[in-house]
């Protein structure tokens, strides 16, 4: 193990002096009103290892680690650092002890530069003045050492998500954190960025850092960790050496039962219901995001859109949903031109839309489950008496949907923001699918959702397909696209670079197309070649 | 109409403009500190009133203008502390508590005025201090370098505030806390302490703004002396996009129009006095409507900080 490097005069004096060898959390209990988030949890992490903390959403992973980082105080139990009992009242205490945390939602100030974000909260060597030049120098040094490419003078708002994460890691390294907690670090990254991140993490482990890797993605846990602890409903199900477990075993520990892996069975498709022709649209940054999309989805067919995020998938979904203006081309639903139609007209034409940003575009956070179920149909004569809402009818209908879609909610009146991601998504699906649409656009339907709910959502999509709907499935999860789609269209830089039928292309070939390699060339490539190179994009969850 | 175009009139107008900008500068720059940390304080006007009264009361009582200024600053600080407790610790809605603070300041200053003064009292306030050499430059000399100490102080505050915000660790913390308190907290910055300090500094400056009004400009106190100046100061913070230089520009623009209308009245230009008085305020509204939409302020403005909330 590497000896800690002597620190230069970087003014990082609020940081740990000594490397931690081992952290133990013993019998941790944490209660929130009505919830036992951690129930006598024991967990430990050693220098020079990646210890994965695996579990579904709401299993208590983040809660456990937030206690280690001083954001919450445990109700019971103790935390030992190298055998010494410690108590953290704030993150500042944890940082001083040598612990760093990379949060799922980045803790960065967008209006400040990379260097300013790193320097924030530290004593400067020139108090009261800042010593940003000194900090920038050390940041450059660290980013070279660990392969964390980022411009110290750039403003955070100018950076990509992957770069922002690198800043977060630099912040921890700059503070000499020897134990670093990563809370779902891959959730927002592209496959290439995941690869880079893993390389950095391996580098850190070599340097003697201990890492806690929080995730619900089995594949990643198997790829990066030395040990894995599975949490379910706030309890530890078990801790294993990663080399001794299989993916199925971990899935079973995580969910508590066997997990089915759904595959679409071949089925005859009918007449085209969604037709997209030469569609063009602008992106948020003023550049053209869609550069002529031609695509057709037929009745009883799922067409999957695969691609690395940022290649126009989001804009395509928004154009179809009526949230973004098409600059050219046409969108036909069941033969009707909806290119410039209002959202209302799209709904009437039988188009349903499950948005990627479900909390921003799919639901109103503060509204109850009941209210969210009726965001579209509140004015329908079925649920009104004149100008009054017929709450009895609405409740009956909502209760039936909650039951049918197995939405786990304490009541219909519960604000939707209190539900887990999976249950929010089920609520949105219930609302959209109960209107019996003819065309469904589902954008990232399982992103950030646990295995159990994902399984349900997939099953539901297949049922809709069987009933003759045309489904456009946009997903960055290649496994999901491959499992469900009759045809896969690969998007790259606002264009569709190729459309392949079920089973016609391997994950490796699709991966090449996603990276911009033309279809003929990608399909000609030897299917075995790039597997070792690109393990992440070829299969992630379930 | 000839009079208003003469050099003498021009110098007069500009000299007044620089002088009139003084309380706005103190108050608006103070308010900017609070807002950059995430707290809107709408009580500025009330704090200015209390500051203005305390300053003249203490100055008349002790014969020391400087003691009056000091007491005004302390009074402002205490009111800032009150605002902080309510909006930072107790997490009350900032807009409402600020208006409450304004009413409190208005009522308190009126009450003290009635009980302790009874009638309007005047004072010999701070006199213009001519700066050697610079003060002799034609036009610029009388406009910029023959002013009172409190006027100089207000203009020196502009680069000082910029320096604090851009060059010090404290400035970095203030901006971070106003933009993303959770991030600052996760790095060990005490969010509430930074907010307390910023609001209290801002309020102390509002107290000083009041003192500059009663001791260096009108040299008297009457009920509701400020007549809404504190609210204009809040508007100037938006107008100046939370930047000291922007606030300086806004304050000068506003005070120049104000000086112009005053001189128009003095020189007997025939427009109704009430309409003339309206002019600067109308300008504020128009300018704000045209400019404010382009800039984005502190993202956490108006939002109390709760650890662990996403």
pLDDT tens-digit readout, A45-60: 999 999 999 988 778 8
**CA–CA gap between residue A258 and residue A58 (Å, rounded):** 19
Task: Work out the average pLDDT over A358-377.
Answer: 89
pLDDT digit string, tens, across residues A134-145: 999 999 999 999
Task: Work out the average pLDDT over A425-439.
Answer: 93
Query: Could you give all domains of chain A from N- to C-terminal order, each with its CATH number?
Result: 262-350+437-538 (3.40.50.300)
Chain A CB contacts of B162 under 8 Å are: none
Of the candidates B79, B87, B85, the residue with the CA atom closest to the CA atom of residue B103: B79
Task: Work out the average pLDDT over A454-462.
Answer: 92
Three-class SS of A35-94:
EEEEEEEEEEEECCCEEEEECCCCCCHHHHHHHHCCCCCCCEEEEEECCEEECCCCHHHH
Q: How many CA atoms are closer than 13 Å to the CA of A32, on its beta-carbon side?
A: 12
Q: What is the gyration radius of the CA atoms in chain A, in angstroms?
A: 25
Whether residue B170 and residue A109 make contact (CB cut-off 8 A), yes or no, is: no
Which residue bears the tokens 């990254």?
A: A189
Query: B-side interface with A, Cβ within 8 Å?
Result: 167-170, 172-173, 175-176, 179-180, 182-189, 299, 307-308, 310
Q: What is the gyration radius of the CA atoms in chain B, in angstroms?
A: 20
Q: How far is CA A243 from the centre of its chain?
A: 26
Task: Work out the average pLDDT over A194-219.
Answer: 92
Q: Is the pLDDT of residue A91 over 60?
A: yes
Whether residue A107 and residue B188 make contact (CB cut-off 8 A), yes or no, is: no
Dihedral in degrees, nearest 10, Cα atoms A380, A383, A388, A392: -170
Between B44-62 and B94-112, two packed helices, what is the crossing angle to 10 degrees? 30
Which residue bears the tokens 């922002």?
A: A164
Search chain A and give the residue with CA nearest B174: A120
Q: Which of A200-204, A389-393, A447-451 has the lowest mean pLDDT?
A: A447-451
**CA–CA gap between residue B179 and residue B198 (Å, rounded):** 14
Search chain B and give the residue with CA nearest A105: B310
Whether residue B168 and residue A71 make contact (CB cut-off 8 A), yes or no, is: no
Search chain B and give the residue with CA nearest A116: B172
- Token readout for B231 is 């609210």
Whether residue A130 and residue B167 make contact (CB cut-off 8 A), yes or no, is: yes
Chain A CB contacts of B189 under 8 Å are: 120-121
Search chain A and give the residue with CA nearest B186: A91
Pairing of strands A227-232, A50-54: parallel
**CA–CA gap between residue A527 and residue A538 (Å, rounded):** 12
- Token readout for A212 is 């806690």
Helices (H), A324-450: 343-348, 369-373, 391-404, 421-433
The reported pLDDT for the residue numbered B3 is: 57
pLDDT tier at A6, thresholds 50, 70, 90: very low
Question: How many C-beta neighbours within 10 Å does residue A407 have?
Answer: 23
Burial annotation A470-480 (CB, 10 A radius, 16+ → b, else e) = bbbbbbbbbbb
A211: left (phi over 0), alpha (psi -120 to 50) or beta: beta
pLDDT tier at A195, thresholds 50, 70, 90: confident
Whether residue A95 and residue B188 make contact (CB cut-off 8 A), yes or no, is: yes
Looking at chain A, the whole-number percentage of residues with pLDDT higher than 70 is: 93
Is there a contact between A394 and A424 (Cβ–Cβ < 8 Å)? no
Helices (H), B86-148: 94-112, 140-145
Is there a contact between A38 and A234 (Cβ–Cβ < 8 Å)? yes
Residue of B168, B182, B187 with shortest CB distance to A120? B187
Helices (H), A292-332: 313-321
Pairing of strands A351-354, A384-385: unpaired
- Token readout for A201 is 């993490």
Is pTM beyond 0.90 here? no
pLDDT digit string, tens, across residues A318-337: 999 999 999 999 999 999 99
Q: Is the pLDDT of residue B72 over 90?
A: yes
pLDDT digit string, tens, across residues B253-305: 989 998 988 888 887 778 888 888 888 888 878 877 776 555 678 888 888 88
Task: Work out the average pLDDT over A505-524.
Answer: 83
Residues 104-143 of A with CB under 8 A from B: 105-112, 116-117, 119-124, 127-130
Sequence-distant (6+) residues with CB within 8 A of A365 are A359, A415, A416, A417
Residue of A14, A71, A127 with shortest CB distance to B307? A71
Q: Which of A32-36, A131-135, A286-290 has the lowest mean pLDDT?
A: A32-36
Between B7-36 and B149-167, two packed helices, what is the crossing angle to 10 degrees? 40
Whether residue A130 and residue B182 make contact (CB cut-off 8 A), yes or no, is: no
Residue of B169, B180, B310 with shortest CB distance to A130? B169
Q: Is the pLDDT of residue A530 over 70?
A: no
Is there a contact between B224 and B48 (Cβ–Cβ < 8 Å)? no
Long-range interactions of B57-63: CB distance < 8 A, separation 24+? B57/B112, B57/B116, B57/B117, B57/B221, B59/B123, B59/B215, B60/B121, B60/B123
Task: Work out the average pLDDT over B83-89.
Answer: 95
Between B7-36 and B244-266, two packed helices, what is the crossing angle to 10 degrees? 140
Residue of B170, B176, B185 with shortest CB distance to A112? B176
Dihedral in degrees, nearest 10, Cα atoms A123, A124, A128, A130: -130
Task: Work out the average pLDDT over A144-167.
Answer: 90
Whether residue B188 and residue A92 make contact (CB cut-off 8 A), yes or no, is: yes
Q: Is the pLDDT of residue A2 over 60?
A: no
B237: left (phi over 0), alpha (psi -120 to 50) or beta: alpha
Burial annotation B198-212 (CB, 10 A radius, 16+ → b, else e) = bbbbbbbbbbbbbbb
Q: Is A71 exposed, middle or buried (0-12, 13-18, 19+ CB in 10 A)?
A: buried
Chain A CB contacts of B173 under 8 Å are: 120-121
Is there a contact between A537 and A508 (Cβ–Cβ < 8 Å)? no
Sequence-distant (6+) residues with CB within 8 A of B187 are A91, A92, A95, A107, A120, A121, A122, A171
Cis previous bond, B170, omega within 30: no
Q: Which of A66, A67, A109, A187 to mutate to test the interface with B (most CBs of B within 10 A)?
A: A109
Whether residue A109 and residue B189 make contact (CB cut-off 8 A), yes or no, is: no
A215 phi/psi in degrees, rounded to 5: -165, 160
**CA–CA gap between residue A188 and residue A287 (Å, rounded):** 22
Residue of A95, A122, A128 with shortest CB distance to B170? A128
Search chain A and give the residue with CA nearest B182: A107
Q: What is the DSSP letter of A428?
A: H
Q: How many CA atoms are closer than 13 Å to the CA of B91, on its beta-carbon side?
A: 6
Of the candidates A146, A148, A100, A136, the residue with the CA atom closest to the CA atom of residue A10: A136
Residue of A96, A120, A129 with shortest CB distance to B176? A120
Secondary structure element (H or E) that encloses residue A32, with its range: strand A22-32
Q: Cα dist. A453→A64, A343, A422, A457, B17 in Å?
A: 23, 28, 5, 6, 67
Beta strands in chain B, from DSSP E residues, in sequence order: 121-122, 129-130, 146-147, 220-221
Helices (H), B37-93: 44-62, 65-84
**CA–CA gap between residue B214 and residue B230 (Å, rounded):** 14
- SS3 state at A468: coil
Burial annotation B59-97 (CB, 10 A radius, 16+ → b, else e) = bbeeeebeebbbbbbebbbbbbebbbebbbeeebebeeb
**CA–CA gap between residue A33 and residue B240 (Å, rounded):** 45
Residue of A96, A107, A124 with shortest CB distance to B183? A107
Of the candidates A516, A500, A508, A495, the residue with the CA atom closest to the CA atom of residue A534: A508
Q: What is the mean pLDDT of chain A?
A: 87
- Token readout for B145 is 């370098």
Q: Cα dist. B215→A40, B65, B66, B72 in Å?
A: 67, 7, 10, 11
Search chain B and give the residue with CA nearest A94: B188
Whether residue A109 and residue B308 make contact (CB cut-off 8 A), yes or no, is: no
Chain A CB contacts of B300 under 8 Å are: none
A288 phi/psi in degrees, rounded to 5: -75, 125
Sequence-distant (6+) residues with CB within 8 A of B249 are B240
């Amino acid at each position: 193990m590497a000896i800690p490097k002597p620190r230069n005069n970087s003014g990082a004096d609020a940081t740990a002096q000594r490397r931690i060898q081992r952290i133990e959390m013993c019998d941790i209990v944490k209660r929130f009103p009505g919830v036992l988030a951690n129930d006598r949890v024991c967990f430990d992490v050693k220098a020079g290892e990646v210890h994965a903390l695996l579990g579904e959403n709401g299993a208590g992973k983040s809660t456990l680690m937030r206690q280690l980082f001083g954001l919450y105080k445990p109700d019971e139990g103790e935390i030992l650092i190298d055998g010494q009992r410690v108590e953290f009242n704030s993150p500042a205490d944890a940082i001083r002890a040598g612990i760093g945390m990379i949060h799922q939602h980045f803790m960065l100030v967008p209006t400040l530069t990379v260097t300013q974000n790193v320097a924030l909260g530290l004593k400067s060597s020139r108090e009261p003045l800042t010593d940003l030049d000194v900090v920038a120098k050390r940041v450059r040094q660290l980013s070279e050492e660990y392969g964390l490419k980022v411009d110290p003078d750039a403003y955070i708002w100018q950076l990509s998500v992957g770069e922002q994460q690198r800043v977060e890691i630099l912040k921890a390294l700059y503070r000499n954190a020897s134990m670093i907690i990563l809370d779902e670090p891959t959730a927002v990254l592209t496959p290439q960025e995941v690869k880079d991140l893993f390389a950095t993490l391996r580098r850190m482990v070599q340097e003697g850092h201990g890492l806690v890797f929080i995730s619900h993605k089995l594949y990643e846990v198997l790829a990066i960790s030395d040990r894995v602890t599975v949490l379910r409903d706030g309890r530890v199900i078990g801790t294993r050496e990663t080399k001794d477990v299989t993916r199925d075993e971990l899935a079973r520990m995580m969910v508590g039962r066997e997990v089915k892996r759904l595959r679409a069975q071949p089925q005859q498709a009918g007449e085209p219901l969604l037709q997209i022709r030469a569609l063009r649209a602008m992106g948020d940054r003023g550049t053209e995001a869609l550069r002529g999309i031609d695509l057709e989805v037929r009745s009883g067919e799922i067409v999957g859109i695969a691609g690395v995020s940022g290649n126009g998938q989001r804009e395509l979904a928004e154009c179809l949903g009526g949230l973004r203006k098409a600059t050219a081309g046409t969108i036909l639903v069941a033969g009707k031109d909806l290119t410039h139609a209002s959202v209302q007209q799209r709904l009437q034409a039988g188009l349903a839309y499950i948005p990627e940003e479900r909390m921003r575009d799919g639901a109103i956070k503060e509204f109850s489950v009941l209210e969210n179920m009726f965001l579209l149909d509140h004015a329908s004569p079925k649920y009104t008496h004149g100008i009054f809402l017929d709450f009895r009818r609405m409740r009956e209908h909502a209760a039936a949907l909650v039951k049918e879609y197995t939405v786990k909610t304490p009541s219909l009146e519960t604000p939707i923001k209190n539900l887990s991601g999976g249950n929010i998504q089920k609520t949105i699906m219930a609302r959209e699918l109960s209107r019996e649409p003819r065309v469904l656009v589902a954008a990232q339907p399982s992103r950030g959702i646990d295995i159990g709910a994902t399984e349900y959502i997939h099953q539901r999509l297949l049922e809709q397909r069987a009933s003759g709907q045309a489904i456009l499935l946009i997903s960055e999860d290649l496994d999901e696209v491959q499992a469900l789609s009759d045809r896969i269209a690969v998007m790259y830089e606002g264009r569709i670079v190729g459309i392949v039928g079920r089973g016609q292309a391997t994950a490796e070939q699709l991966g090449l197309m996603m990276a911009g390699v033309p279809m003929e060339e990608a399909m000609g490539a030897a299917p075995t070649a790039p597997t070792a190179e690109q393990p992440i994009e070829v299969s992630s969850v379930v | 109409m000839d009079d208003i175009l003469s050099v003498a009139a021009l110098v007069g107008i500009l000299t007044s403009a620089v002088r009139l900008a003084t309380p706005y500068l103190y108050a608006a720059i103070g308010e900017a500190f609070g807002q950059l940390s995430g707290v809107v304080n709408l009580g500025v006007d009330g704090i200015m009133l209390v500051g203005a009264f305390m300053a003249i009361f203490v100055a008349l009582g002790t014969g020391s203008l400087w003691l009056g200024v000091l007491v005004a600053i302390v009074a402002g600080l205490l009111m800032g502390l009150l605002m902080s407790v309510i909006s930072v610790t107790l997490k009350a809605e900032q807009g409402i508590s600020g208006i409450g603070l304004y009413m409190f300041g208005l009522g308190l200053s009126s009450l003290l005025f009635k009980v302790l003064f009874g009638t309007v009292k005047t004072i010999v306030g701070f006199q213009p201090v001519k700066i050697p050499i610079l003060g002799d430059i034609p036009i610029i000399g009388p406009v910029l370098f023959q002013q009172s100490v409190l006027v100089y102080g207000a203009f020196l505050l502009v680069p000082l505030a910029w320096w604090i915000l851009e060059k010090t660790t404290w400035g970095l913390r203030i901006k971070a806390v106003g933009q993303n308190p959770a991030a600052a907290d996760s790095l060990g910055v005490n969010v509430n302490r930074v907010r307390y300090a910023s609001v209290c500094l801002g309020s102390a400056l509002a107290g000083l703004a009041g003192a500059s009004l009663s001791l260096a400009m009108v040299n008297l106190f009457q009920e509701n002396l400020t007549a809404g100046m504190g609210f204009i100061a809040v508007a100037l913070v938006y107008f100046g996009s939370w930047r000291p230089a922007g606030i300086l520009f806004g304050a000068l623009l506003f005070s120049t129009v104000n000086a112009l209308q005053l001189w128009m009245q003095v020189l007997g230009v025939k427009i109704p006095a009430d309409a003339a008085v309206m002019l600067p305020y109308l300008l504020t509204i128009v300018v704000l409507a045209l400019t404010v939409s382009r800039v984005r302020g502190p993202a956490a403005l108006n939002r109390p900080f709760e650890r662990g909330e996403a």
